[in-house]
Every structure is written in structure tokens, then in C-alpha cells.
Structure 1
Amino acid sequence: MKFLSHLANLTDGTVVLASTERVARHIKLQAALLQAVGGKKAWFAKGQIMTITKWIESTWLELMPDEQLLYPVQELATVKSVIDQSGLLPANMISSTNAARRVGVAYSDAYKYRVDMDLDRFRFKEEFEAFFQWKEHLDAHCQAKQYVFRAHLPALLLQALQSGQVDVPERIIIVGMLDLNPAEKAVFEALKSAGTEVIIVPPEGDKATPRLVRSHNNASEMLEVAQWVAKQLEPFVDTPQAAPSLAIVVPDIRAYKGPLLDALSLHTSPGSLLPAGPDGETRAPWDISSGATLGSRPMIRAAMDLLSITPDKADPETFSRVLRSQWIGGHVGESATRALLDVWFRDNMGLNMGGKDFLRAIGSYKGDAVPDFRKRFGGLLEKLISGEQSRYPSEWADHVSEALNDIGWPGQSELDSANFQTLNAWAEALALFRTLDAQLGTVQYERAFMWLREIVDTRQFQPRISHLAPVSILGYEDAIGLSFDALWIIGASNTVLPGRAEPSPFIPTDLQINAGIAEASSEGMLTYAQSVVGALLSTSEDVTVSCPSHNEKGASIGASELFGSWPVVAPTLETKGDFLDDLMGKLDRTVFHIETIPPVTPLELTDLKGGVRIFKDYAESPFFSFVRNRLRVEKFPEPIIGLDPRIQGTMVHLVLELFWKVIRTSKALKAFSDEALKTEVERYTQQASEQLLYKLIWRYGMKLIMLEQRRIVDLVIDWLELEKKREHEFEVIGFEEKHDIMVGDVPLTVSLDRRERIFLDDEQIETRIVVQDYKTGQEMRMNSLNASSLTEPQLPIYATKIEQADDVAQIDGIVLAQVNQKSLGYHARSNFSASLVAGKKPRAEDVDTSEKWEEQKDAWNRQLDAMSAGFVGGNGTLDLDGKAFPIGYEYIAPLTR
């Protein structure tokens, strides 16, 4: 490093200025080592080391100015306020925040690069003219409020230097800067004139000849980097202090951080995958410079998720994360029940639920299952409901602190070093949020939350590690000005170096080019990229540069020619890490044991939960009956839009039950007029709603429930009109009757929807007893009741097994009642008729005589007993005939291998 001699001789009058915080920190460590080697124990008192922007800011603030220096978020709020009130924004703009960001960048560039603001150059284009006026408004606003943007500081400091107000340092050393902007150059020229020795250490020096690697894809590139790191560090496992300094530089840390750390963890430091040690650190041999924001920290994400929930608005996924979060008080004692509650929510979630709906729903789940969470969450919502409509940000900051404290954030566990730093950074973010009072005034909670999120999502934050990390992971610009024993440059594609030109849409492009803004033209970006490449190649004598030939989608990627001529694509590396590689290929697949399913034990029979479903699943496949009813595997849940069909079916069942419990007979039904029948059905629908639907207002809302009530009333009336047309008079004699029966060796508890007595003569002497089952779903194929193709065993079980109960008379027939809008009708099989509605023509295959009925029952009995024997005996065959697994069961396919 070319300035090591300067660092070794730092004096109180020396200031070292770096391009970024990462470079400044690295220089501080270098200075510490050099001073210590020289025997200077008080080295930290010598000189100042900081970024250029920080030095300009602190030097101006030392003058005790009257103006207020704005933080970046205050600048954004000021710009947004000005452009919102200007009347120059398009009428169809949804949000002006992003526009304010772009305007703020253009406004800063105008000062940093001293753009010529000639009105004639900004005419005849709407964006240019608007920006010219916005800049004038911002200048006037800042002057009136005595606000200072950071872009104003170089010019203000220059005025102070020229008027002799600044105590200039003896010497300034600038490190890692590719180029100073015109405003900064003017400051340092004035410092020279004032007698300061200004030394600019050029970032480009003796350039290394890089080793170029063309990887197959991103995954191969990460693997090669990981293996390179492992090879470099392997000789120093026992002496980590002597390990070489390595750097991995990437174009975008946010994009590369995940896959890079996955590869390094698996192939370089598997120990980092284990739980953290007592101090909370995993002791990985790498240090990430930045790239992450405060809002990306799990602790802060939990806080922001919680604060995003209001009484009237709550994203379901956000609430799920809050409910399961370890950062919420009471998690240790209620984690299991909170997880079960979350599963229940996923099965019963409604549309457009707010915080109040979730709170009511918690009360509907198994009583008081999560009392601590319910109390804390209810307290949070109460504060929002009873609070003032609009408050200053500083007042909202107090509310946020109280809300998080009341709900027990950040949890009960002791914080490790990284999370302790995160908590301090959160306190600083809240302090910054409080400063927005002047810019925002009083605002409603949602807008205040938006600005708090802006702060945490834009603040760069990476916890400092306390152990030695020989590997530094940096962005391209962060590495400029540093030195390493070896360097690997990742992702060196021709779309990154040089990058794409993106001139500001608010300043004429030719003015941007003339001012020296690199992003304004392809030529500027090429020049900038050449400077970056030269600087990176000067940071080490051992440099490797890589670029994948294809991305994860298979699209071709071109390599940057600024590094030289690239070789052909390297051979594909296929490895899963040393540990797994040692096991790969050693499994003898010719030796295996054939698995068999054991028979159902007597003890297991007493614990079966499936009911009739055991036989329905068995009819579909013995394997499904085994995994669902013995292994307790459930079908993967399907998303439901609107009302749950199960609830709709239950409501129809309940309304009909309430109706027939009172009306009882067909004669009483026929006595109703149309208007009276509608009134009666509406009354029972209301009673059923009180038992079920009204308890689900939190899930569906009152409007959807009212629509469902209207649908049920119309459907039930249509069904009862069909009941009036039946050939024989009848009397309903049983509702939802439960019976314990045996199907072979399998014990079941069944519930009959409806049992009725049919009168075959006018004197009502000759009668028959039938069991009726309501089907409110889609139309069912009637041949599914045939013994040879039995897939709906419920009614056959009733017909053949229910007579085992002592209190049940002989069953003379079964009736499938299809109650839905698409299909209203009956399908009957009995010893007296196959039709309940008059006028239906008989068919040869009908079961309508005593002889046919007994034959049908015998066939059902044989089939059901065979199913029972197969299930109990451990039959788990699966024959899909080459078809895929049914929807919802794909995830259990590995069990069949």
C-alpha cells in the first residue's frame, strides 16, 4: 500500500480521508498496527481517519452555523413536500415518493457537479421545466427554513474557507477515490491555497495480471470461489493469526450475499452452519462489509411486521410471522400453541382481515389457547384505536417504543453481540425518525409507519464481528484503496463493467455529460469502469477474475473485456462438499429390503380416527387409506377463495335439520304458502347463522355472510319445493343420529344426516324406513355406489351395518339427496322403489324390489368386508397406471419408492 509510510507517521495535524466507511475502517486498523509496531501506545490520538463526506460535514458543523443540516430521510421528506405542493406532478401519479427520490438525486447532482442551470437549456421538455422550478422552490424553501442538504456542504465550506473561518489541517491524505466531484475539488483546491498539504494517493498503481476463470453458471462460480478460499486457508487452520488476507469483491452484495455464503459455509467452513457459540457468533472466517440494511435484520423485520398491523388492516403472512416470532414476548412458553394456532389460521383464514378480526379469531380457537399473546396483541390494537388520529413523528416514536415494549419485543432471550448492536441501531433509527417533525408535521399512523420503514430499509447496517476474519467480502467500490494478499473478483460481466448509462430524466443529458456525471453516457461509464478495473487490479499481486457463461435461467452472459482475453469455459465442478462427497457413490443399490406394512393391531384399532373416510380412501387406493388413516398424513391444503365449501355444506345441513325438527311431515310442508315457506326458511337460516356463520364474521365479513344467507334461502326453498313433489307422504324421524358400528374388524362411529318413514298407502299403515344423506358438493356419479366400483361407501355402510345397533329398525333403503344449484335430485336404492319423485320411468338396473335390495346389500357387504380385511391386514398397494399422484398428495410420492 502506497501510503503506509504516511500512516506510520501520523500527527495531530494529519487527516486521512477515504472514499467509503469500509476503506476508512481498514485504514484505521492498518494505522493501529503500524503505530503499535513503532512502539507508540497512544497512536489513536494521532490524526483523524474518516470519509471525505464525513470530514466536510464535521468541519462545517464545527463553525456552529445557524442552519440545520438535514439527514437523508429529512431531505427526501422535504423534496416530497415541495414537489407534492408544486402542482407539477402528473394527475395519474399514484405515489410521489419514488419521484421525490429521483428529483432529490438530480438536485444533489446539480450542486455536486455544478451543473449550469441556464433556463433556456431546460425549456421545451416537461420534465426539465418541472425540475428547474422544483430546484428554485427547494432553494427558496431551504433558505426560508434555514435547511442545508448535504449536497450544499462543499459550497458552504468553500465560502467559509475563502473567508478564513476554518482552521485548516496541516496535511490531508485522500485514499481510494477514483475521482472527486467538482464541488469537492474546489474545496481541496481552496485548502491548498490556504496552506494545507493535500496528498491524493492514486488508486491505480502496479496492476497485477489477473487469472481469468469462465465458470459454467453462478453456482459453479460460487463453488470455485469457495474452494479457492478453502485452499488458501487450509495451511493456517491451527495458526489463524498468520492466515493471508483475502478479499472477494462482488458487483452487488445484496444479490450475491446469499449464494456466496451458502457456498462458503458448505465448502469452506461447515462449522458456521452449527448453532452459534456463547457469544452469539458463528466464528465464520469472513466479514461482510455492508450491503444489508437495518430493516433486513430478523429482529427489526419482526418489529416492522408487528407495527404494520392496524385494527383494520393486517396482511395474513405478516400476522403469521408475528404469531410465530421468537422476538415477541411469551414465545418460550407458548411457541407450540402459537404454531398450532398458525396452522389453524391457514386453514380458516378469511379475506381482508384486520387486526381486530385476528384478535376475535384467536378467541374462537380452543378457548384461551394463547393468553399471553392475546393480551399483548389486544393491548397493541387498543392503543391504536384509542390514540389520536394524527400525531407528530416524535409522538409516534413514543407510541412505537411503548407498543414494542408492551408486546415484549425483542423477546425473552439474552441478546448476543450482533443483536445488541442491532438494538442500538434501532434506537438511532427512532431518534432519526423523531427529527421529521418539522418536515412532516402531524400525520396519521400509516404515513408515519411509511417513513419509519423508509429509514430502516435505507440505512446500511452490518454488525461488527469480534473475531479474526481473514476473508473480506466487499463491493467493487469498497475494495478500492485497500490491499490484500489475494483477491477474487466475482461477476465480471460486460453488463457490470461497464455498467449501463442511466442519465437523470430531469437534467438535459448534454449538461450532465459536460458536468462530468459518469452515469449520463456510455462513454462516461466506460471510463469509470476502466478506472475501477485498474484500481481493483492494483489491490493485490494475486488477482483472480471470474464470470459465469450462463445465468440461472440459462441465458448467455458475456464477460467484461476490460480484464483481457478470456479462456474457454472451465469444466463443470460437481461437488456437495467433502463430507457428502465421501459418502457419494458408496451406496450399493442392489442390496435392499422389501418393506411390508404390518397388520393393524387391536390397540391401533381402538385409536383409529378416520371413520367412513377409511373406506373411501381404500376405495381410491389401499395406499392412501394406509398413509392417511394409519400414518395420519393429510392432503396438502388447497387455497380457498371466498367461503369454505365445508362451511357452506354444514349450513345447508343445519338449516334443513332445524326446519324438519319442527315441521316433521310432508303434509305440514305442503300446507305452507310460498310466502310463508320463505319466511320460515329465513327464520331457520337466521338461527343456523347464529350457531355458525355469525361466529365467523372475523373471517368473512358481514357482506359476504349476508350474500351466503340469501344463497342458502334460495337453495333450501328450491329443495323443499322438490320435496313437495315426492310420490309418497313421509315423516322425518331422526336427525344427525350417531351410532357405533363395526365394518368387519374396523370400529366406526357414524352420523346419519336424516332418517325418515315413508308411507306407501293413504291409511299410512304400510311404511318403509330409509336413510337420507345430503350431498351439497358437486354432482356425484351414481355408479360410485355400485359394489363393483364402490368409491362412495358411506350410504352402503349405513344400509348394511347400521342395523347392528339395537335401537335402529330395519333399513329399507338409502337415498342420496343432491342439494346444490347445479343438481337437485334424488338417487334411491330400496326394497320398494328407486324413485322418490312421481313420474320417473323405471330402469332395468334399478334397485327397487326386496330381491334386488337384498342382492345389493349382499354385494355391498362382501365388498366392505373385503376392504376391512385388506385395511386391517396391512394392504397398501398403489396402482396409478402411470398417472401422477392426485393433487394434494404429490409430496408423499417418495414413500412409494
Structure 2
Amino acid sequence: MAQHLHIAVNSRLSQLLKQQLLAEDWQTQTVAKTPAVMTMSQWWQQWEQQLVLQADLTDLTALLSPTRLSVFEAEMLWQDLLAEKMQQQPELRLLNTRATAKQLYQAWCFLLEYEAEEALHNHFKTAEVSLFLDLKHRYQERLQQLQLLDPPLLQSRRLDLLERLATHCEQVHICLHGFDELSPSVQQWQTILTKSGAKIEVMAALPLANEPKQQFCQAETPEQEAQQVALWCADWLDGWLKQSQSATQTSSVPCLGVVAPNIESVQSALTWAFDETFYQRFGQPLPLASGRQTLYNISLGQPLTQSALVQNALQTLQLALMPQQILQYEAWSDWLTSPYTLGDLQYRQQADNRLRKLQWASFKWPTLLAHLQKRAEEQDDMQAGDNLISNPLPKKLTKVLLSQSQTRLPTKVSLAQFVQQALTILKTFQWGQTLQLGDASRALNTVEMQQKEAFLQALTQFENCFFQANQASYADWLGRFQQQLQATVHQPQTQGWVPIQVMGMLEASGQQFDALWVMGLTDEAWPRMPNPNPFLPIALQRDLAMPRCDAQRELHYAEQVTHRLIEAAPIQVWSYARQLEDKEMLPSPLLSKGLSVAMEVADFSNQPYCALAEKLKQQASPLVWVEDAQAPALPLNTRVPGGTGILNAQNSCPLMAFIDYRLGARYQLEPVEEGLQANHLGTLVHHVLEVFWQETVTQTQLLALDKNALVIKLSDLLETAMTPMQSQYDAHYLALEKQRILQLILDWLVLEKARPPFKVIQTEAEHQLAIGGLLFNTKIDRVDQLPEFANQKLIVDYKTGRANVADLLKEPIEAPQLAVYLQAYTTSDIAGLGYGILHSDDGVKLDMLVAESEVLPSSRHAFSKLAEKSGGDYEGQAWEDFLQALQSEVDTLARSLQQGDAAMRYRDEAALAYAAGQLALRLPEVKWQKALNLEASL
């Protein structure tokens, strides 16, 4: 009895053939034997297993003795050889090592596959070819030295052994499915088995019973093309569902194919269109739904490194195995807030928010942990709300990190030790186990479980790599393992009924569909552009018709695939998009050449597409425009958030104040940046001047200090203030910052020395002020007493940014914060108020509004001069009346806040640019409405 064997070009077709053959057997038999269907690589594995049982083992030495390399290992070996070559030839360092190693390995595979080594020597050798020949020689020496066998050499030895040990096999009938072309090694395999009596048949696509119904679709853009595909698929499914409901017998499940030359380029638009369309037509869950099942499957695997679960594993290993490596805060934040990290996600997110206030842009995590633990011990008696610098990390995570930071790891380890340590760390950090979010928890879903299993399988495979006997650092091993994961393509298995299969041209080999849509057929995409290997002579590649060698070969290949697809379904649509970004595209020449042979091709009628957002808008009730500028009133004597900052916001735009302060938009995650942030610079300046004036008190004592004593005093104060930053910033950077800030303060004190005599009576004084029925917590930087002006007071507000005291003179005022300070004192006691500006770029300046010019001769704003100015805004007005008017204006502003005024009202659009809730202000819509109102009033 003849043995029938089916060999498929890929595993997808193999599974499909097995299902089809089983279904045919079940129609005629009560007991069906599992059909022999496999891929070519599975055939070779089966052949080897039989050979081990039947042949003399001495004949198998060349095949079984060497250690076999995977493609990844072979590429790594080429990469190592290239790196050694770069040490000898520095000009090669411009090459991308990993990408170049892939090309070198491909050239080596082509050389063996096409048996082109002898022919290679007859061609002109470019620098690239010479480099390849040099590295090829070293590669072969390394394989022999280490007793290694890579995939192309393994294939060559298999074929030699097959020919030498081939037995009679007249009863074997092998059918090859889905092979658009046979590679030289498959041709040689076919020849050997045919000589041994086997019957090998390359199966062509089954001819269709009738001419296929074909349509041609021309879309404007790739997005429109994807939308038409989605609507076409939805119509097919809709028709099948209606037919199934009306039929007395269950009809067969439809199989729809969507094929594209470059599946990566259409994946995004196609997924979006499918999700929108199928949600509207069939209620398919949207992408955010957990554990959703879709009506389509896209045959496009992703590198394992793109999985969030795998990324977390790599981050965990990097943290644990390389504790002395400098981390960027964003990398730490990504790991800390990942759902797969140990500990309750809610607490970890809160910890991230609090740790950002430290502004550690780059650090070693054990140093950060030690800092947090130390401050936690020092701050045990602090209230939780104030304990920003203690340890906010979850206790379970802190315990594991502390244990890991105390573990002393060897400098170099073997591969087996690395893998064992990696598994131990992942177990310690409970990676891939139950995920915790508050009171809720969940196990990994099906896709995540598959990703976890693929990761652990890759780790096991990595342990068996040829370089296992080597000793290397943990960083080196982890880097190599990451490369393997990058090369490992993973696609989660779909479950349940999936009627729509999206795939590339190769994946569609040998498959039959009820209906087929071939998309993305521009002249640049199909035929593919030539991509010859740079390390083999172009002429040699053309002579032997190597893959991607020239346009002629690509055209021939594309014609074969196109012809096969024409026979793949009775109903077909072929399409392309005319516009790709800013380029106008042409259809593939195969559209006109291949589809018009002995058949009529009809134009496809594009259907109107309704986006989900548009559909929801249509279904919604008509919009009713309501001007709602009234927020809930604040109860009297409420302590408002944000201190006086909320009054500044209320003054700029009431709606901005409501969104940023009352709704809390301003309390978002603080960005962590390299270097001292502006607010940290301000804190340092405030602190140093506060301590300095607490000790110095009067201008007289300031003048008594000589320059050296002043510099020493300020340097000591800065050193003390910057001590907590020593574990955060580089010592050289801190020294430069200290020198810069010291010079800024020295320049400021030069201005202080030139003033009339004064005494500092308050620094950083805290006040709770009742204004407009609300309570405001505020801190006044400094208050001076002026002996020459009846001991009146001068209010100084330090600014390390830009500010202008003239904002007090505007109507309405634009500096309500300064006016708020007046509420803390009797107006008759105030001689002036304003800013002490210490700006890194603009320098230092006393920008004050004073009652008389004698109070501060250098001031440009003396109110007495404004009152004397004929026709001016303040002609004849007394200073005290002016201050009381400021108080009254601030009171009115605070009262509008208390009463819930939240109108979208602003004077200067630039003031809205820094709103935390800027998007919620909807400024473009407001401007549009104002324009409409203006137009209507004309």
C-alpha cells in the first residue's frame, strides 16, 4: 500500500491541510487515520529519528556529533567575528554590527544553498565581498574549532547523507503544497528521493469550477482602502448570518482572506477599520476590552521584546543583575508603574508621584533605596502627608529590593549560572503571577500566559547556546538574551471562530478562500523592490537567480504568486491606494497584466464609511448649547488649595482656576529632568537668603562683612543646603551650580548694600489670611523695617524667574499675589512692596513700587511721582488709598472665587499657555464662538 505524505510550505498551511483531509475521510469512513501532513523541517526531523534507529551510528557522526546552532546563534557568531575585525580595522566601526552580521550570515546561506563558492572566485571582489570572504574563512575555522554545525551546513550534510543512505521507496507518494518555487536544496532533495523510486508531486492550485468574479478597487488613501476591506468583510459575514438563520441546515462557516504584500504597512489602518466596523455591525468588543475575541486574525508575529510582560521581565532582570548601573528616572518609572511589577499597582503609582518630587533624573537604585530608608528612619515622627522624602514604596517591594541590593553578585558567570540567577530573580519578584490593583486582583490572561511561556522557553533555549562554556558579565549575558528575544517572533494563538484571515503573500500559499481581497498593490509594493545581498557580487546573484537579486526575478516571482492567488477564491477584489502621504502612487503592473487575462474585471463600487465617532454623534441627542459659567460655591471660611496661586489663576481666567486648582489638574505627574529645575533653584535661593538674614539681620552687619567673610558665609550656607543633592547629582555639576548660585546671591547683596538702611524683621513668615470669605495660607519671603521712614515696612518677594511690579498698576491688577500680602499688615505701615529678582539670565534687580522715591532711590516706580503727574491715572491719589484699593480688588477677586465664578474669560491668551488643564479650556471653540457672535452682531 502506497504511503501518502503531504508536505506544506508553512505550519499554517500544514494545519489547514490536516483539517481538510480529516474532514474528507470522515465523510466516507467511521474511523479516520490522522493524515501525514508536515512541513519540510518536520520531515527532516522525522527522517533523522528513523535514521538513528535504523542506520549504523558511525555513518551519522558528521551529522550528530557537532553542536547544532540556531539561526540566532549563527548570527551571533558572525557578530562576534565582525566585532573582532572592527578592532583591527577601525573604519569598519561605522557599520551597524547586528544588521551587518545578519547580511553576512545571509550571504553565507546563499553561498551554500546555491553551491556558489567556486563561481564566486571568478567575479570581481569589492571591499564588501573581500570582507565577507575574510570573515567566512574565520567563521569556518571557528565552527571547526568548536565542533559546531549551523543550519545551512546541517542541510548540506543531511542531503549528502540522504543520497548516500537512500533506500528504495517506490511506495512513497509525496505531495508538496504551497511551494511557489523550489529552492536548490528542495530540488536536490526531490532528485534524490525520485531516484530512489519515490513519487513527488508539486501540487498546483486547484482550478476553480468557474471563472472567478473579480473586481478592481481604487481607493484614495490606505485608510480608505482598509475601510472598504472592513465593510466588504462585514457584508459577507452579515449575509452568511442571515442565510444561516433562514436555512434548515447549518451552512459552512465562511473563510475570508485578506492578503497584502506588506502586511506591516496595512496592519494599523486595517485593525482600526475592522474594530470600528465590527463593533457597529456585530458588537465585537473594542480594543480596550479585557480578553476580547475578534472576528479577524492578523498573521503577523511580533518580537517578544514588544510584549509589555516581557519588557517588564527584562527591566526586572536589569535592575537586579546590574544594581550599579545608572538609571534614568523614566526607565525606573516605567518599571515601577508596570502592572507586572511586584506590589499593589495603586500604591506603586502613588510612590511614583511622590518620588518625582525628589527630581532624581539619573541614579543607582540601591542609592535611592538607601536614601529613602534613611529619611524614613529620620522622619518616623512626621505625619504621613508631610513625609514626602520617606519611603513610599510598598513594603513587599521594598523588602525584595533591600534583599537584592545586599546580594553580592560575581563579576563573571557561566551561561547556566546566569539563567539560574535570572529564574531566581523572576521568582523572587513574583513575575508573571497574580496582578494586584487595590482590592482587586487578576491572573494573567490567555495572551499573557502564552507570552510568559514563550519567554521562559526562550530562556531555556538560550541556556543551550554554543557559548555556554564561556564566562561573561551579567550585562553581557542579558544583552545577548535580549537580542535572542528580539529575534524570536511570537504570535498568540487565536481561539474560537475566526472567519477572517489577514496574511502576507507567503502565508497565503496553497490556501483556498470563499472570497479574497488582495490589497496594497501599488507599483512600489508589488512586485517587491530588489534587495540584493551587499556581500556577494551582483552578477553572481543574477546568474544563479538568488532571492531579491534584481527586478526581473522579483517580477517573475510576483507573477507566480499572483497567478496562484487568482485561483485561490471564486470571488476576488484587488485594490491599491492612489495617495500615500504626499506621494501619488500607481497601481501594480500585475493588476492590468494578471487580472485581464481571459476574464472581465469589474470596478468595485466604494461604499460610504461611517466612523464610530460619527455614528455615535448621529445617534446622540441634538446638542443644546448652554453657557455654564457657574461652579459650586465654596463654603465660607474654606481653606482654598494652592495658596495665593489660585487667585493669580482666577485673575487670568476663572475657568482655568476652577480646572487647575479646584478640580486638581495642576496636581499631575511632575516631570523629572536633568539638572536643577527652576523651582529647585528658587528653593535654594530662598533658603540661603532666609538663613543669611536670620543671622545678619541688618544692613549694617552686612556692610561690616568683608568680601572674603561674605563669600565663606554664603558658601557654607549653600554647601549645607545642597548636601541632600550629593547622592543625586554629579559632584562636578554641583560645584558648578554652587558657584553660579553663589555669584547670583553676591550680585544681589551688592544691591542690598546700596539701599538706605534697613533691618530684616521677618523671613518666610507664614500667614493665614481671610479674604473674600475664604482662608488663604501664604508665606511672605521677607519684610524689611526702614528706620529712616518711621520704621515702615518694605515687602520683598524673591523671584528667580521674570516678574514686573508694574502689573500692580494695571487695571485690573495682574499681580494679585503681591496685593494679597497687604492683607497681613496695616496699609499705613507699608512703605513699598515688590520683587527681588535673581534671574540666571537677566541678572539681579530690585523691582519695587514705593511710596516715595527716597525709600528706594534706584526704583523706577515711586507712587508720589505718579500722583503728581497731571492727567495720570493716579493724579492726586494718596499712597494709603491706593493700597486699600488693591486690598479691595483682591477681596473682590477672592469673593468671585468663593461664589463659584468659572467663566471662560481671559484678557491675555498667553496666560492660558501654561494652564495644566489647557485642553479642557477648549480655547479654539471659544474663539470660534466669539467670531460667530461678532459676525451676528454686525
Q: Please say if residues 106 and 504 of structure 1, whose CA atoms lie closer than 8 Å, have aligned partners that are also in contact.
A: yes
Percent of counterpart pairs with the same letter?
Answer: 20
Q: Please say if residues 376 and 407 of structure 1, whose CA atoms lie closer than 8 Å, have aligned partners that are also in contact.
A: no
Q: Does 1:619 align with 2:654?
A: no
Where 1:415 maps in the other structure, the secondary structure is: coil
For the structure 1 residues 353 and 342, does the alpha-carbon distance in structure 2 shift closer, same or farther, using more than 3 Å as the test? same
Tell me which residue corresponds to 1:528: 557
Q: Does 1:369 align with 2:392?
A: yes
Tell me which residue corresponds to 2:41: 53
Q: Does 1:752 align with 2:780?
A: yes
For the structure 1 residues 374 and 421, does the alpha-carbon distance in structure 2 shift closer, same or farther, using more than 3 Å as the test? closer
Where 2:835 maps in the other structure, the secondary structure is: strand
Tell me which residue corresponds to 2:797: 773
Tell me which residue corresponds to 1:438: 467
Q: Does 1:378 align with 2:382?
A: no
Structure 2, unaligned runs of 5 or more: 53-59, 376-387, 435-441, 869-873, 927-938
Q: Please say if residues 261 and 504 of structure 2, whose CA atoms lie closer than 8 Å, have aligned partners that are also in contact.
A: yes
Q: Does 1:406 align with 2:407?
A: no
Q: Letter of the aligned partner of 1:313 in structure 2?
A: I
Q: Please say if residues 205 and 535 of structure 1, whose CA atoms lie closer than 8 Å, have aligned partners that are also in contact.
A: no
Where 1:17 maps in the other structure, the secondary structure is: strand
Where 1:282 maps in the other structure, the secondary structure is: coil
Q: Please say if residues 523 and 588 of structure 2, whose CA atoms lie closer than 8 Å, have aligned partners that are also in contact.
A: yes
Q: Please, which of 839, 848, 854 is the counterpart of residue 880 of structure 2?
A: 854
For the structure 1 residues 816 and 294, does the alpha-carbon distance in structure 2 shift closer, same or farther, using more than 3 Å as the test? closer
Tell me how far apart the structure 1 counterparts of residues 866 and 616 of structure 2 sit (CA, whole Å).
Answer: 68
Deviation at 1:57, TM superposition (A): 4.8
Where 1:592 maps in the other structure, the secondary structure is: coil
Tell me which residue corresponds to 1:651: 684
Tell me which residue corresponds to 1:18: 8
**Residues 38-58 of structure 1, C-alpha deviations (whole Å, 9 max, x = no match):** 3354522x42x2222332355
How do 1:413-812 and structure 2 match up within 5 A?
Answer: 413-438=442-467, 441-551=470-580, 553-564=581-592, 573-577=608-612, 581=615, 584=618, 587-589=621-623, 591-598=624-631, 600-602=633-635, 606-634=638-666, 642-690=675-723, 693-694=725-726, 697-698=727-728, 700-728=729-757, 730-760=758-788, 766-778=790-802, 780-786=803-809, 788-799=811-822, 801-803=823-825, 810-812=829-831
**Residues 234-293 of structure 1, C-alpha deviations (whole Å, 9 max, x = no match):** 24446787321111122233343333222222212564425999xx85232223334323
Tell me which residue corresponds to 1:825: 845
**Residues 403-458 of structure 1, C-alpha deviations (whole Å, 9 max, x = no match):** 21111211313233333332222221011111225278222223222221222222
For the structure 1 residues 854 and 22, does the alpha-carbon distance in structure 2 shift closer, same or farther, using more than 3 Å as the test? same
For the structure 1 residues 14 and 271, does the alpha-carbon distance in structure 2 shift closer, same or farther, using more than 3 Å as the test? same
Q: Does 1:273 align with 2:302?
A: no
Tell me which residue corresponds to 2:871: none
**Residues 599-637 of structure 1, C-alpha deviations (whole Å, 9 max, x = no match):** 62326x514213211221122223323333333332887
Q: Please say if residues 852 and 864 of structure 2, whose CA atoms lie closer than 8 Å, have aligned partners that are also in contact.
A: no
Q: Letter of the aligned partner of 2:232 in structure 1?
A: W
Deviation at 1:711, TM superposition (A): 1.6
How do 1:278-357 and structure 2 match up within 5 A?
Answer: 281-309=291-319, 310-311=322-323, 312-330=325-343, 334-344=344-354, 349-356=359-366
Tell me how far apart the structure 2 counterparts of residues 370 and 668 of structure 1 sit (CA, whole Å).
Answer: 47
For the structure 1 residues 303 and 380, does the alpha-carbon distance in structure 2 shift closer, same or farther, using more than 3 Å as the test? farther
Q: Please say if residues 727 and 838 of structure 1, whose CA atoms lie closer than 8 Å, have aligned partners that are also in contact.
A: no
For the structure 1 residues 57 and 139, does the alpha-carbon distance in structure 2 shift closer, same or farther, using more than 3 Å as the test? farther
Tell me how far apart the structure 1 counterparts of residues 678 and 830 of structure 2 sit (CA, whole Å).
Answer: 30
Q: Does 1:816 align with 2:835?
A: yes
Q: Letter of the aligned partner of 1:155 in structure 2?
A: S
Tell me how far apart the structure 2 counterparts of residues 295 and 856 of structure 1 sit (CA, whole Å).
Answer: 67
Deviation at 1:199, TM superposition (A): 1.2
Where 2:398 maps in the other structure, the secondary structure is: helix
Structure 1, unaligned runs of 5 or more: 1-10
- Report the more deviating stretch, 355-364 or 647-656: 355-364
For the structure 1 residues 341 and 449, does the alpha-carbon distance in structure 2 shift closer, same or farther, using more than 3 Å as the test? same
Q: Does 1:252 align with 2:262?
A: yes
**Residues 791-850 of structure 1, C-alpha deviations (whole Å, 9 max, x = no match):** 112222222x1137xxx9944432421223423222333445464357989786368999
Q: Please say if residues 204 and 534 of structure 1, whose CA atoms lie closer than 8 Å, have aligned partners that are also in contact.
A: no
Deviation at 1:26, TM superposition (A): 1.4
Q: Letter of the aligned partner of 2:193 in structure 1?
A: L
Where 1:740 maps in the other structure, the secondary structure is: strand
Tell me how far apart the structure 2 counterparts of residues 249 and 344 of structure 1 sit (CA, whole Å).
Answer: 50
Q: Letter of the aligned partner of 1:746 in structure 2?
A: L
- Report the more deviating stretch, 202-211 or 505-514: 202-211
Where 1:423 maps in the other structure, the secondary structure is: helix
- Report the more deviating stretch, 879-888 or 671-680: 879-888
Where 2:761 maps in the other structure, the secondary structure is: strand
How do 1:141-160 and structure 2 match up within 5 A?
Answer: 141-160=142-161
Tell me how far apart the structure 2 counterparts of residues 843 and 276 of structure 1 sit (CA, whole Å).
Answer: 62
Q: Please, which of 184, 187, 190 is the counterpart of residue 185 of structure 1?
A: 187
Q: Please, which of 847, 870, 876 is the counterpart of residue 902 of structure 2?
A: 876
Deviation at 1:528, TM superposition (A): 0.7
**Residues 433-490 of structure 1, C-alpha deviations (whole Å, 9 max, x = no match):** 1122527822222322222122222222222233122222221111111111111112
Tell me how far apart the structure 2 counterparts of residues 862 and 689 of structure 1 sit (CA, whole Å).
Answer: 41
Tell me how far apart the structure 2 counterparts of residues 254 and 360 of structure 1 sit (CA, whole Å).
Answer: 46
Deviation at 1:14, TM superposition (A): 3.1
How do 1:111-150 and structure 2 match up within 5 A?
Answer: 111-118=112-119, 120-150=121-151
Where 1:474 maps in the other structure, the secondary structure is: strand
Tell me how far apart the structure 2 counterparts of residues 447 and 558 of structure 1 sit (CA, whole Å).
Answer: 48
Where 1:92 maps in the other structure, the secondary structure is: helix
RMSD of aligned alpha carbons: 3.3
Tell me which residue corresponds to 2:912: 886
Tell me how far apart the structure 1 counterparts of residues 106 and 574 of structure 2 sit (CA, whole Å).
Answer: 32
Tell me which residue corresponds to 1:8: none
Q: Letter of the aligned partner of 1:680 in structure 2?
A: K
Q: Letter of the aligned partner of 2:338 in structure 1?
A: S
Where 2:341 maps in the other structure, the secondary structure is: coil
Tell me how far apart the structure 1 counterparts of residues 205 and 141 of structure 2 sit (CA, whole Å).
Answer: 40
Q: Please say if residues 178 and 531 of structure 1, whose CA atoms lie closer than 8 Å, have aligned partners that are also in contact.
A: yes
Deviation at 1:883, TM superposition (A): 4.8
Q: Please say if residues 758 and 768 of structure 1, whose CA atoms lie closer than 8 Å, have aligned partners that are also in contact.
A: yes
Tell me which residue corresponds to 2:223: 219
Q: Please say if residues 849 and 859 of structure 2, whose CA atoms lie closer than 8 Å, have aligned partners that are also in contact.
A: no
Tell me how far apart the structure 1 counterparts of residues 562 and 195 of structure 2 sit (CA, whole Å).
Answer: 33
Tell me how far apart the structure 2 counterparts of residues 569 and 468 of structure 1 sit (CA, whole Å).
Answer: 28
Deviation at 1:789, TM superposition (A): 4.5
Deviation at 1:567, TM superposition (A): 7.8
Q: Does 1:845 align with 2:865?
A: yes
Q: Letter of the aligned partner of 1:482 in structure 2?
A: Q
Tell me which residue corresponds to 1:231: 235
